[in-house]
Amino acid sequence: MAKKIKQPKVTKFSELENKVAALWTRVSTERQEENNCSLETQERICREYAAKHGITVKKHYGGTHESAKTEGQLYRQMIAEVAKDRDINIILVYSFDRFSRAGNEAIMTKAYLKSKGVYVISATQPIDTDSIAGEFMENILFLFNQFENSLRRDKAVTGMTACLKRGEWYGKAPLGYDHKKVGKTHVLTVNDDGRILKKAFLWKANEGMGDIEIVERLALEGLRIDRKHLNKILHNPFYCGKITHNLLGDEIVEGKQEKLIDEATFNKIQGITHAGYEHQEETEPFPLKRHVRCSDCGGYLTGYTVKSRGKDYYKCNKKGCKSNHSTERLHQQYCALLNTYSIPKPFVPILTKVLHKVFREYNQECSDTRTLLLKNKSELERKQVALKVRHGLGEIDKDIYNATSAHLNEQLTQIHKALQEAERDLSNEKKYIADVIAMSCKLGTLWKDGDFRTRQKLQNLVYPDGILYDKHLGSYRTENENEVFRIFRTISTGYIIEKEKAAKENAPLSPWVGMRRLERPTPTSRT
């Protein structure tokens, strides 16, 4: 029988005799380096903190751009080297978001480092790492760093969605198109490949030609694509002037791109005589319709009623993946899932404090945005006055005046809308946060007792991208939940596990949720 290796006891941070640090500095983008907190500034503040607190700096890692979404090779190298270094017992960072924005991954990494006797310390966010409350606060900060990333992502997604709704395509142009700048906007125009590709649609629609033969003919014309790519193109409504995208859901938008073929030709290829883009609205018995997706095929569940039985069901209609689920069962499971987001009372004060921090930062961002918008508004109004004066003096004719005035008015309208958004009432911060936490403690009840619209709003709030249902396990999967509610569920689940463990051991419950228990640190000693 192998002898169990006893793990060395980790010395508390406050009891470390020789504090030796590795500095870690990073920025996510060059713009952040220029405008937010440069690498040089981070290093200077960290070294000043080290000198003030008797910490010896042995190594300095970083000095490059590391992704906030997935940490880079240099980061992983730093973690590995520090874990093996017998001298280093501190990783010193400017702020915790400079260490990592990976949320749970950051918590696991920090727990792993602590098992090696290495502490992650922030020069600008002093926290008592030896106390339970301090460690909990630190973990919450890591989770909210990830949440802030999600906010930035959501803003970008909002902008991209607005762009698509205007009929403007963003990103790489599909095969057969080129980006062309017209004024301040980019439009897509058909290029030489597109004019060749048009023949493929005509061959398919008018001659019923097979895909293999079309691929061969296109190659003779100078355009080489494979059969799979051709099939996607022939079924992509983009080429007849429509825009579809995951960000738009089921919505089909009339695009501003140049049409390669007419809609009738495209519909003929699909084997239909009408566009077929409309869908029926959700009905009361099926609030989860087009919200829940099948985990096997990714298709949305639809709803139907068996009149002979008087029962409602959700159904996956994709070929080869058909399944039926009782609405009663799926609704009960959904309520039970929402109830897992309830916040344990011992953690309400700490979570409230963190939420206040987030809202203060958000309010500052809104204030900065409002200032910029007001500046732009004043400039446009100045231009309007100047335009009227020049027109009155006869310096510009009526047509130019009308066109320019219309353009300025359009810009002002957009700014007014943006100002309304930026000036949204966020003053009653305390009440809002209290309402958020209170609502999280009864999500299941609110959904169960709510009307159709209330249910829709709640489920889209918690799962903005929908939710998966595993028909084999007979349960939901929560990969795409709102970051804030994910934090709530993590806390709640950890608390329940800790409580059950304490009950089994007949010991008093620790106030510490044990978020680091999400995954045990690697049980190896420092060598």
Query: Given a cut of 80, is residue 134 above it in pLDDT?
Result: no
* Residue predicted with more confidence, 524 or 259: 259
Interval 162-170 mean pLDDT: 83
The average confidence (pLDDT) of the chain is: 76
pLDDT of residue 260: 93
Query: Given a cut of 70, is residue 160 above it in pLDDT?
Result: yes
User: Residue 296 corresponds to which tokens in the numbers above?
Assistant: 């096997």
Q: What percent of the chain has pLDDT over 90?
A: 10
* Residue predicted with more confidence, 66 or 389: 389
C-beta of residue 93 within 8 angstroms of C-beta of residue 120 = yes
Interval 296-305 mean pLDDT: 81
Q: What is the pLDDT of residues 225-240, one digit of tens each?
A: 998 899 889 989 999 9
Q: Using CA atoms, how far apart are residues 435 and 431, in angstroms rounded to an integer?
A: 6
Query: Given a cut of 50, is residue 258 above it in pLDDT?
Result: yes
* Residue predicted with more confidence, 503 or 14: 14
Interval 291-318 mean pLDDT: 81
pLDDT of residue 20: 92
Tell the residue number behind the tokens 């030896």, with chain if given.
Answer: 130
Query: Given a cut of 90, is residue 428 above it in pLDDT?
Result: no
| pTM recorded for the entire structure | 0.39
Burial class of residue 256, CB neighbours in 10 A (0-12, 13-18, 19+): middle
* Residue predicted with more confidence, 223 or 141: 223
pLDDT of residue 252: 83
What residues have CB less than 8 Å from 48, skipping those under 6 apart? 123
Torsion 206-211-216-219 (CA) sign:
positive
Least confident of 31-35, 36-40, 254-258, 489-493: 31-35
pLDDT of residue 496: 65
pLDDT of residue 17: 84
Least confident of 163-167, 183-187, 285-289: 183-187
* Residue predicted with more confidence, 130 or 191: 191
Tell the residue number behind the tokens 């030709």, with chain if given.
Answer: 265
Where residue 295 falls among pLDDT bands split at 50, 70, 90?
confident
Least confident of 27-36, 109-118, 136-145: 27-36
* Residue predicted with more confidence, 220 or 298: 220
Ramachandran class of 394: left when φ > 0, alpha when ψ lies in -120 to 50, beta otherwise = left
C-beta of residue 393 within 8 angstroms of C-beta of residue 355 = no
Where residue 515 falls among pLDDT bands split at 50, 70, 90?
very low
User: Residue 78 corresponds to which tokens in the numbers above?
Assistant: 């730093």
pLDDT of residue 274: 37
Q: What is the pLDDT of residues 469-478, one digit of tens each?
A: 888 888 888 7
Q: What is the pLDDT of residues 79-132, one digit of tens each?
A: 888 888 888 999 888 887 777 756 567 777 888 888 888 888 888 877 777 676
Burial class of residue 113, CB neighbours in 10 A (0-12, 13-18, 19+): buried
pLDDT of residue 502: 62
* Residue predicted with more confidence, 125 or 144: 125
CATH code for the domain defined by 180-269: 3.90.1750.20
* Residue predicted with more confidence, 411 or 152: 411
Least confident of 111-125, 172-186, 301-315, 495-509: 495-509
Coil, helix or strand for 303? strand
pLDDT of residue 430: 67
* Residue predicted with more confidence, 219 or 521: 219
pLDDT of residue 489: 74
Quick one: which of 264, 308, 251, 292 has its CA closest to 468? 292
Interval 258-266 mean pLDDT: 90
User: Residue 183 corresponds to which tokens in the numbers above?
Assistant: 């004024």
Quick one: which of 8, 13, 11, 12 has its CA closest to 121? 13
Per domain, the residue ranges of the chain are 13-155, 180-269, 351-428
C-beta of residue 225 within 8 angstroms of C-beta of residue 193 = no
Torsion 469-472-475-479 (CA) sign:
negative
* Residue predicted with more confidence, 284 or 108: 108
pLDDT of residue 519: 36
pLDDT of residue 429: 62
Q: What is the pLDDT of residues 357-386, one digit of tens each?
A: 666 665 665 666 677 778 888 888 888 888
Burial class of residue 82, CB neighbours in 10 A (0-12, 13-18, 19+): buried
Q: Using CA atoms, how far apart are residues 354 and 483, in angstroms rounded to an integer?
A: 14
pLDDT of residue 522: 38
Q: Using CA atoms, how far apart are residues 157 and 163, in angstroms rounded to an integer?
A: 10
pLDDT of residue 272: 45
* Residue predicted with more confidence, 413 or 133: 413
Q: What is the pLDDT of residues 195-207, one digit of tens each?
A: 999 999 999 988 8
Least confident of 161-175, 283-297, 311-325, 354-368: 354-368
Strands 467-470, 475-477: pairing is antiparallel
Architecture per CATH, 13-155: 3-Layer(aba) Sandwich (3.40)
**Angle made by CA atoms 393, 397, 398, in degrees to the nearest 5:** 110
